[in-house]
Structure 1
Amino acid sequence: MFTTEPARLPSRPGGPRREAGDRPPGTAGAAVPAGRTLTDWFRHGLALDGGAEALRVGSTAVDYTRLDAAARALAGTVVAAVPGGRPRRVGLLASRTVTAYAGLLAAQFAGAAVVPLHPGFPADRTARMITAAGLDALIVDERGAAVLPELAGVLDGVPVVGEPGGEPLEQPLPTTPDDIAYILFTSGSTGTPKGVPVLHRNVDAYLRFVHGRYGFHSGDVFSQTFDLTFDLAMFDLFTGWGSGGTVVSVPPTAYASLERFVAEQGITVWFSAPSLVSLLRRRPRGLPAGSMPSLRWSLFCGEPLLAHDAREWGAAAPGSVVENLYGPTELTISCSVHRWDPVTSPSSCVNDVVSIGRLHPGMRALLHEPTEDGDGELCVTGDQMFPGYLDPADDEGRFLEHGGERWYRTGDLVRRLPGDAFAYLGRRDHQVKIHGVRVELAEVEWALRRVEGVKEAVAVAVDGELTAFLLGERRPQAALAEDLAAFLPRALVPRRFVQVEEFPLNANRKIDRKALTARAAAADR
């Protein structure tokens, strides 16, 4: 679909690159009316400057006009292939290629909800997602096309589009704020994929808040680190495109020399999972102070942000503001935020975990089954809350009816802090009973990080016993257990300590706790 066009750095097509702090009139901070769809957000960036660079993937640079044309061409092919010419749900089986990004927009332009699927996932899992979503069409890139034979049984009658083959749409088909923008799948405790349909009005409420908070503008260059099956990728794309900025796909190979990549690409807005900080720190040269001066915003989400990671990243990107974002997919990307301050923030940390801060405007919280200490399960309602799971049976136990309203139960345990903020304590399913004592795994990990020689730690529970996976200096298990007893009751000291070179990470560079739990269980067999 695209010919390879070397990315022109640091200039951008249509004119010279603006400095990160420069906000030219008409290209930043413009008032955004409520009720926009994802198509509207992209086309706002297109209207600012069609010749500006919308996307970089490797050596390929694509401007807004070309990306819009590619998406309309794919959308036209999808519409022509679907009986009735109006698909409801379009799958996207693709990796982070230019075709994938154009395909995501094409689904929107066709008036459909996009359903991102990962070519690297087990075929059985992907097949279950396709069946649950009820796809009307499927867009694939080269990698997605390669796995189609394994999915033949669930794609009977579903048109598959890899290249444009018909007339492009002159204009995107209309959608409304109450239409579904995307459907993402999460795994429950059983591993069964649960479909999460998110409405355009949910995403619009979110985007209006973050654009207003951060003042994104057309001179900004946004990292894109998350797989498209993860809702945090929607932040990367539609904050970037909604401001007329440039979205840069970050390949896994970039992390070895991330500072050089950030500088060469001129990235100003960084967004990733916090595990990246630990990964960079373990390199021979570590994470040098002042090594990423181009960043003006450094945002983290997807897992707990540790205080020492926030502090170290802030030193490496001294011109940026570090923020901790929190929120499950069901509450649309993120629903609360804390701005890190190296002087005041440590006092609000619990177990070295940075506060998740205050909820966004339009969102409200209550604590379910609070303890005497004021801790409880965080329940949230408001503009960003999704309407319910794709399969209504999955709603059971996930919502709370209170005060005539429906609240989403996040499964996260929190503590109220002054100023309507919250401290994150851990997952309800990470609260385990060991030898009759109930404990948060986050508390065990906090204690492990205080032990001499331990740099990072993850604790998992299998059959009522704890296993600790450690990064750092190799020490005898007896010595580790003895030192840990100074911070934890003896009953909570892990039975086994496993030294590892690195923690397994999933596609979004989050620590893969399921893999570590499986490893601990296998060791007991």
Structure 2
Amino acid sequence: MTIPATTGPTATFPRGGTLPYWFARGLAHDPDAEALRIGARRHTYRELHERALALAGALVTRCGGRPRRVGLLAARSTDAYVGVLAANYAGGTVVPLNPQFPAQRTRTMAEEACIDALLVDAAGRAALGGLSDLRRHVPVVSPGDGSPLPEPLPVSPDDIAYILFTSGSTGRPKGVPVLHRNVDAYLRHVHGRYGFRPDDTFSQTFDLTFDLAMFDMFAAWGSGGTLVSVPPHAFALFRHFVNHHGITVWFSSPSAIALLRRYGALTPDAFPGLRWSLFCGEPLLERDAADWQTAAPRSHVENLYGPTELTISCSVRRWEPGSAPGASPHGIVPIGTLHSGLRCLLLDDAGQSAADTGELCVTGDQMFPGYLNSEDDRGRFVEQGGERWYRTGDLVRRLDDGTLAYLGRRDHQVKIRGVRVELAEIEWGLRQCEGVEDAVVVLVGETLSAFVTGAPCEAQELRRELLGHLPPALVPRHIHRLDAFPLNANRKTDRRELTARAAALG
């Protein structure tokens, strides 16, 4: 395995890179540099590499050759990060599984991915009790089950690097296979854009079942930097945590900003060491970007956008502190421009090309080949101009400067008594009301319900004030105040939970 040295953001990388290649870059720069930090535990590139080779050898032994699909039932532990590398080192595909998910959901994902081996950490081992039927058919592999590989087995750019599962409209997980060449194209873009350095220290906030965790790992390791796992309790002492660990690259969902605001952490110049502050996974509000910029004044704040099917993120927009308030639709920072190697088209309600506003469809070298279950492809792709385009389900508008603004989900555009309603517009209107910090609007049947955070308020007064911003048909019948929105495993606002609450509250 040829290991190239890290030579900076302008380097010309060999074509056809794979995930092991990106770890190899950090390993080549300095094998004894710190690659991973979890609490007080620090691990070098050499240690992770050797542990991954040992576990990869065990996989090959137990599977009688290269494993095809390797399930990784693990939390954000050292064993989990080693497992990601080991599955690829063994020539296989890694399938991250969350030990906290219901056993039936894990079983469904493992069966659909057709895993032929399973790696676990302590949390994963505890979850095996509810997966006895899976254990009967799939070996649970430990490092001592075979001799270490002398070097990683070769993999092709057209091999599947990892499989992640997203929830479909039916709630059944949909398997998304991402090829090495898909993620390689993405990593080339981010390393070229950001110029990450060996002295950079990266946050890691996302569960390994969320594709944004792949950014954390391979942006850090591809630059020879250090990855620091951020535990949930760190947010209560966030300023100390970030500054103590010397984090220079922060990456999280925007929901983290609202959480830190409640903790009083977004004070001026609170995070002086941050160089890059990146947000993805849900809309980034202008007010949140501005507050974060105040706390990290020497940091570039960027809004990243993209579904798992387009490999981690596919567009980006830098927040400019001088941006005029309200310049963005619905108070949401635009999603910006597509990465090089990607192209887009917009579709109107009739499925025809639209000039300025419509559903965003994307094609290019980051687009995945299709779902594990081909039936899930139905309605998710469109053929146009001799090319296949992925339909994101997101509505966007071209701004005067040619960049894209996010308007909301297509399935969040509903009709109430014949009136077309965009939930994002109602949420924007609520944020204009006095005392409201943030808002989420859901539809139950034909009834609009809103949840808001911020100062205590009377629902009737909010509805009266909202009429100054929106037509009567867009004013929610029910408005509930919460101290904070519920978050899912990836620290994104859990809209499904809020919809269930709205239905229960009536």
Distance 1:297 1:142 in 2: 33
In the alignment, what sits opposite 1:106? 86
Asked if the contact 1:141/1:162 (under 8 Å) is kept, the reply is no
The one-letter code of the counterpart of 1:172 is: P
- Match 2:408 to one of 409, 426, 441: 426
In the alignment, what sits opposite 1:87? 67
Distance 1:333 1:146 in 2: 30
Asked if the contact 1:346/1:354 (under 8 Å) is kept, the reply is no
Distance 2:124 2:10 in 1: 37
Give the fraction of aligned pairs with identical amino acids, expressed as a percent.
Answer: 61
In the alignment, what sits opposite 2:356? 374
Asked if the contact 1:29/1:216 (under 8 Å) is kept, the reply is no
Distance 1:175 1:328 in 2: 25
In the alignment, what sits opposite 2:248? 268
Distance 1:373 1:39 in 2: 41
Aligned length: 499
Corresponding position: 1:179 with 2:122: no
Q: Displacement, 1:475?
A: 2.1
In the alignment, what sits opposite 1:69? 50
Moved more, 306-315 or 435-444: 435-444
Distance 2:498 2:365 in 1: 36
The CA RMSD measured in Å over matched residues stands at: 1.5
- Match 2:236 to one of 245, 256, 261: 256
Distance 2:355 2:462 in 1: 31
Change in 2 beyond 3 A, CA 1:153/1:28: same
Asked if the contact 2:284/2:333 (under 8 Å) is kept, the reply is yes
- Match 1:322 to one of 286, 297, 301: 301
Asked if the contact 2:9/2:192 (under 8 Å) is kept, the reply is no
- Match 1:120 to one of 84, 96, 100: 100
Corresponding position: 1:146 with 2:126: yes
Distance 2:335 2:7 in 1: 33
In the alignment, what sits opposite 2:425? 443
Runs (5+) with no aligned partner, structure 1 = 1-23
Question: Tell me, what secondary structure is at the counterpart of 1:294?
Answer: coil
Distance 1:362 1:420 in 2: 17
Q: Displacement, 1:429?
A: 1.1
In the alignment, what sits opposite 1:18? none
Asked if the contact 2:62/2:145 (under 8 Å) is kept, the reply is no
Distance 1:380 1:70 in 2: 39
In the alignment, what sits opposite 1:130? 110
Asked if the contact 1:348/1:417 (under 8 Å) is kept, the reply is no
Q: Displacement, 1:489?
A: 1.0
The one-letter code of the counterpart of 1:355 is: P
Distance 2:51 2:481 in 1: 49
Asked if the contact 1:322/1:339 (under 8 Å) is kept, the reply is yes
Alignment of 1:78-477 (within 5 A): 78-83=59-64, 85-283=65-263, 285-344=264-323, 346=325, 348-369=327-348, 374-477=356-459
Q: Displacement, 1:29?
A: 5.0
Asked if the contact 2:238/2:265 (under 8 Å) is kept, the reply is no
**What is the TM-score of this pair, normalised by structure 2?**
0.96
Question: Tell me, what secondary structure is at the counterpart of 1:219?
Answer: coil
In the alignment, what sits opposite 1:3? none
Corresponding position: 1:39 with 2:24: no
Question: Tell me, what secondary structure is at the counterpart of 1:92?
Answer: strand
Q: Displacement, 1:382?
A: 0.2
Asked if the contact 1:92/1:104 (under 8 Å) is kept, the reply is yes
Distance 1:389 1:43 in 2: 29
The one-letter code of the counterpart of 2:270 is: S
Change in 2 beyond 3 A, CA 1:470/1:25: closer
- The C-alpha deviation readout for 1:275-301, integer Å capped at 9, x for no partner, is 111111112x35101000000000000
- The C-alpha deviation readout for 1:414-467, integer Å capped at 9, x for no partner, is 001134310000001111222321111110000001111111111111001111
The one-letter code of the counterpart of 2:12 is: A
Asked if the contact 1:145/1:162 (under 8 Å) is kept, the reply is no
In the alignment, what sits opposite 1:478? 460
- The C-alpha deviation readout for 1:23-55, integer Å capped at 9, x for no partner, is x99466533222110001101110100000000
Change in 2 beyond 3 A, CA 1:73/1:520: same
Q: Displacement, 1:519?
A: 0.5
Distance 1:229 1:63 in 2: 24
Distance 2:8 2:401 in 1: 34
- The C-alpha deviation readout for 1:487-507, integer Å capped at 9, x for no partner, is 111121111111111110111
Question: Tell me, what secondary structure is at the counterpart of 1:379?
Answer: strand
Change in 2 beyond 3 A, CA 1:151/1:377: same
Q: Displacement, 1:166?
A: 2.0
**What is the TM-score of this pair, normalised by structure 1?**
0.93
Runs (5+) with no aligned partner, structure 2 = none
Distance 1:370 1:417 in 2: 20
The one-letter code of the counterpart of 1:317 is: A
- The C-alpha deviation readout for 1:142-164, integer Å capped at 9, x for no partner, is 11011112112233331102443
Change in 2 beyond 3 A, CA 1:339/1:386: same
Asked if the contact 2:397/2:407 (under 8 Å) is kept, the reply is yes
Q: Displacement, 1:343?
A: 1.9
In the alignment, what sits opposite 1:505? 487
Asked if the contact 1:324/1:339 (under 8 Å) is kept, the reply is yes
Asked if the contact 1:348/1:355 (under 8 Å) is kept, the reply is no
The one-letter code of the counterpart of 2:503 is: A
Distance 2:503 2:344 in 1: 37
